[in-house]
Structure 1
Amino acid sequence: MLSEEPSVTLMKTMKKIEKKNSKDKRFLANEMHRQADNLNKKGDYETALILYHRASNLYPHDACHIIAARKIKTSIKNEYLKSDSNIIKYNIDNNSIKSRNLRRKKSNKLFETIQFLNINKLEYLKKIYEDKNYNECLKFGNNILLNIMNIDDIDKNKYKFIIHRYLTLSYMSIGRHDFAINQVSKLFKLSSILLNNNLQLQVIILLGKIHLTFGHLDATIRAFNKLSINIKNELTKAWLFHEIGNCYYEMGLYKKSLNMAKQCCECSADNETIKWYYHGKLLAAQSLIKLGRCSEALETLKQSTHLILSIDDNIDLHNYHLNLINILEKKINQNYIVYNNLKGITIDDA
């Protein structure tokens, strides 16, 4: 007689625990652990594994829940290996084929359970990060890393990449530049192991953002310049040149920021989206103003005015653009009046 499906057993077990009607997390975690032990003895590893993990998540201060989860994962692995070795020993008859299929089906279910647990944990990790519970995200993320350490899963490094990314973002959010950079180094290693160029590009972009967040403009420029060499997508290049240009602008290197703005426009000119073409024009105008070339800046702004509403509903950006034009027009008119007045002054008048 086959045992119940893990989901059915889990629901029944959780109802038993809920009947305890306790708000004590430690008590509930221990109750889950006890129920998991009973299921483990009966050979229902799948449900037991889920309960051990739930106990660990509910009360992570008690390490016994994590240890139990690791032990059962080892049992799952041994069960899988045992089924393979037994298949070789069996004679090819109807009974042995049925036994083999049953064992393989059970082993596959167990590994699917591990994968299901990892995916659920990653979804929860994403949720607590998006809720800005950064310290909780760090604690939970490191907890998952411990849990998957001994799993031989083909997706293990993909899971680790996602986890380390959230750890990086969390450290960045709480102002720990040193820890964020340390996490990025781990992301670089994982992207190399996974042989995924897109992931490597994501890591370099993330590195640049970290440096930018903490005001390390030189480091940001180095990271983005390195990245731009390997980028083939013109739109991505446009974004990169704009970010590099912004860094130069903040550093007061306006000729360099103007050059980057022009490169940004060149890369995005033939693209369907005009967002970065506009932002390139705006950066160019800002740089020209700083260089004292107000007439050129005004012309650049007027040429790109019609693009604003096409790319963004941001009223503040629209107002900023129009105000900048008004200020430049007034400044140029004042200079023109002063120039004409000076022309009317003769040597005798002086």
Structure 2
Amino acid sequence: MPHRIAVVVADHFAPLDLGVPGQVFWAARTSSGEHLYEVVTCSEGRRPVRCSAGYSVLPDHDLNVLDTADTVLVPGVHGGRVMKDGTISATLAGALRGRPRTMSICTGAFILAAAGLLDGRRATTHWTESARFARLFPQVELDPDVLFVDDGDVLTSAGVAAGMDLCLHVIRRDHGSEVANRAARRCVMPPWREGGQAQFIERPLPYGNGGGTAATRDWMLAHLHAPLDLNALAEHARMSVRTFTRRFREETGVSPAKWLTGQRVRHARHLLETTDLGVEEVARRAGFATAVSLRQHLHAAVGVPPLAYRQTFRRV
């Protein structure tokens, strides 16, 4: 049976946030075209719910459908009681607790926090609402500078399009990068975005000005197997090391070394999922000096060693 995702729609919901899970998870399919997820919607009492764009939707279910869900997802909200005083109805709070996995998009994190699901956990929300969130929910470890936070059975995302990043991350976590990449292509979006949330709001990427590091990033991706030091990267970009490092961080939100390690880990994951290469060869092709180095970086990224990762994701 497909993994069931129940989307809880509340008053003042954000229209795009409601549409994202139905579109992205619908696009996740096996290589033979079978759907891996089923998305259903619900509201308290199955009543019509009005959005910030001036129209209402009528969900198919009431909150009882949450008892049949493998994942519960809460879209963002604009204004309303939860944004003003941090409270939700006892019915909704009780319905959200005890679920196998819970997600929020954008300011949907306010609803999860109001239900007590984020107490003592790391979470994120839309950057414009981070100060209000911190005032209302000081017990939550808020990180406003990332696209999403995966805290195991509770996941939160930043604003608007970051919900798509979170959904793709969940697909990747559940079924591997091949399935997630196919879903991204179907949705005509990149399978992964680098860096933190702030770069998309306050420091737009300098596309097309001829002075960025995009060409060097492409070169790095084509040479993941080779030793790449900062001097070589700066030389390729025809910049000083200082200028290259500064511009790279401005454009990606992270240092060149961190970006490169992340790309190598993702390439190693792809090789583990799609080939029968030994761990030593995967490490070599991904640019890690040894299998031990690969194990350390993969465990830091996903929490499991290479062989366990392969066994998990080769099933799809």
Shared fold, TM over 0.5:
no
What TM-score results when the alignment is normalised by the length of structure 2? 0.26
Q: Is the helix fraction higher in 1 or 2?
A: 1
What TM-score results when the alignment is normalised by the length of structure 1? 0.24
Flag the structure with more relative contact order, 1 or 2, with Cα contacts below 8 A and sequence separation at least 6: 2
